[in-house]
Amino acid sequence: MAITKRQSADLAKQTFEYAPAPEATDHVRIQPRYGLFMGGRMLEPHSKKRFPTINPATEKQLSEVAEADAVDVDRAVEAADRAFVSWSRMS
């Protein structure tokens, strides 16, 4: 959608409220470990493998994230396939 010069000028006059910068973490609750979200649940990865996520500003570890493998991909596709039937009726 294109906007006209008038709409652009109107937008320039508006005051916008800003949230904390996305790199700020004081307003975020970071879990020590994250699983794989499938079928409405957090699941452990099939391989049991995890990898660290690092804050590039501090080089400190933020959390551990589940590492998915082919079995996990198959589980995710099956969960999405099951959910598609009910979700497709919502719109």
Condensed to tens digits (0 to 9), the pLDDT of residues 8-63 reads 677 667 777 777 666 666 777 889 999 999 999 999 999 999 999 998 888 999 99
CA-nearest of 63, 69, 64, 65 to 46 is 69
DSSP state at residue 4 = -
* pTM assigned to the model: 0.63
What lies within 8 Å, CB to CB, of 71 at 6+ separation is 46, 47
Q: Within 10 A of 38 (CB to CB), how many other CB atoms are there?
A: 17
Please, which pLDDT band fits residue 3 given cuts at 50, 70 and 90?
low
